A and B are shown apart, each in its own frame.
Chain A
Amino acid sequence: MKRTLINFSRYLAVTAVVLLGIASLPVSAAQTLTCSVTPDSIPITFTYHGAQLAITGQSASTDDLVVTITSEPVDVALKYKEKVGGLVWMKKGSLEFRDAPRIYLLQSTAELSRLLSGAELNKHLLGYDALRGHIRIEDSAGKPADGKWFDEYLKFKKQEKVYNIQEGTVVRQHGVEGNTYKVDVAWPYQAPPGTYTVNVLAVRDGKVVDRASTHFEVKSTGMVAALSKMAFDQAGLYGIMAVVIALIAGLAVGAIFKKGGGSH
């Protein structure tokens, strides 16, 4: 009982020191980490072709920063091709990619491998190697698939521009407003509508010492939203509309050409 008490008080003391330490961080290292994204809402209209995002905030001047944009992980099934009969490439079946973020954009102040150990990178899901360990790939029978399929998956996602890593691109400034950072993100139009999370991690001496996060939303508006809603909620009517408008367009142009003296 006595020992437990001692242990407990020791625990309290340690906690207090840690808490004090964190509380004193802003004093010693000048600033807490903050993070905001502009715009925090991206409307999708007919003219939408991706967007330019700026992630800004304040951070301690000596800390390195890793900024990620991700979505909730989802399970996605993709068809895969393999050589059949030693001759032709065919779609053989589908693979399930589990717990895969729809999007994974990362920027940092320096090379990830120099900032954090492999274990730390895995823990915070930073970098493609961490993703490799995180995303589970299964064949249709539920068995784990060959590791080469992660490389193919990465190739596929990079081509869609929804997975991207840029090291050393976070810009820092030291001004009257303190130490600030800025990250420019070319938001790919291939990313579907949804809510996305921005995480900023401050790294010091091989450890993540602080983090801040924020969200932004990509959302269809106006006619884009109305059409996609109709396609799902009033599918029958949508189908009839698509057919009728195509018919009218075809017949009308056919008639115009005749009037225009297209035949002889």
Chain B
Amino acid sequence: MYMYLPIALTSVNYLVVMGLGLAVGLLSGLFGVGGGFLMTPLLMMIGIPPTIAAATDANQIVAASASGTFSHWRLGNVDFKMGLYLLIGGFAGGAAGVQVIKILRATGGADFMIKMTYVIMLGGVGSFMFVESLNAMRKTKKAPVAAAPAAKPKEKKGGFFAALPMQTYFEKSGVTHSALVPLFLGTFVGVLAAIMGVGGGFLMVPVMIYMLRMPMHVVVGTSLFQILFTCIEVTYLQAYSNHTVDFMLAILLLIGSVFGAQIGTALGKKLHGDQLKILLSIIVLAVTVKIVLELVMEPSILLSYAGGH
């Protein structure tokens, strides 16, 4: 029942850890998020030091997102071209964000601002998605499934986005954007993710849905594809410079999460795009509430090891 972890230097119940992997992997396959927002605090709860929890989670997400990307690719849900542009932007944004946070930290009081911005953004995005998908579900109650993504594509086209150079057709997503748009949005999410210390799936998914106007199922697959590469980079860097990746813990987690991602993908296939959106928005809102409660209620223990979200 118990396994000792060589880097975390603690012993865990491996059934519990595999169960966590399964649950978070399922969310990953279903919504295209990494699930670090959930996994890192859960790991800390079972006694894993924060820095090791965050780094090892990235390692685990490599497996879950590889598993998820693979099956979404077979379903034709991965827009590699879009993913690549977002990824390039994301890498640049991540590097920039790390510098921004250094400057912010130096000015002091930045943590408060960062946390507040995060809460407001999550709450805003979650509420917007909830209302939007609820309305869409009401409207399309009797409409066939395939009609949903093409509902209102032309409205906000034209204007600034259409005037940009390098207009490119993204076949899988069925949208045309300037290549600069995903590059810029990728950078934007990368900067925010680095500043807030999160993977960015929660921000990237809504950006893809509402700003890039990609169909929900392609959003999930493409997001996973992008998360895969981000987490490969993070895992390697954490292992190389901080020695915070616990390989045994990652193995236990990924045993659960690779299967979870498959189940999530299969489940997602059965759900309508708007149903997926509304479920995701509920989770985003729940996370917002959790963060707010954590901020407002007095913690039982005021000391902690350094690191974590």
Contacts and interface: CB of A to CB of B under 8 A. Distances in A.
A81 interface: yes
Contacts of A85: 112
Nearest to B109: A84
Given A82-B302, A152-B302, A257-B71, A247 B296 contact: no
Contacts of A81: 299, 302-304
A11 interface: no
A197 to B, nearest CB: 20
A250 B64 contact: yes
A244 to B, nearest CB: 9
Tell me the dominant secondary structure on chain B's binding face.
helix
A75 to B, nearest CB: 14
A80 B302 contact: yes
A246 B111 CA distance: 33
Contact of B62 (A223, A228, A250, A263): A250
Interface stretch (A105-113, A204-212, A232-240): A232-240
A152 B235 contact: no
Interface in A77-107: 77-85, 87-91, 94-95
A193 B9 CA distance: 8
Contact of A247 (B66, B266, B298, B299): B66
A57 B40 CA distance: 46
A241 interface: yes
A258 B68 CA distance: 12
A11 to B, nearest CB: 50
A44 B3 CA distance: 10
A220 interface: yes
B239 A235 contact: yes
Contacts of B243: 231-232, 235
Contacts of A79: 303-306
A247 B228 CA distance: 9
A106 B46 CA distance: 26
B10 interface: yes
Interface of B: 2-4, 6-7, 9-11, 47, 59-60, 62-71, 74-75, 111-112, 115, 232, 235-241, 243, 245, 247-248, 250-251, 254-255, 258-259, 261-262, 266, 269, 294-299, 301-306
20 contacts: A50-B11, A79-B303, A79-B304, A79-B306, A87-B296, A89-B297, A156-B301, A190-B10, A238-B247, A241-B247, A242-B250, A246-B59, A246-B63, A246-B66, A250-B67, A251-B66, A253-B258, A254-B262, A262-B266, A263-B71
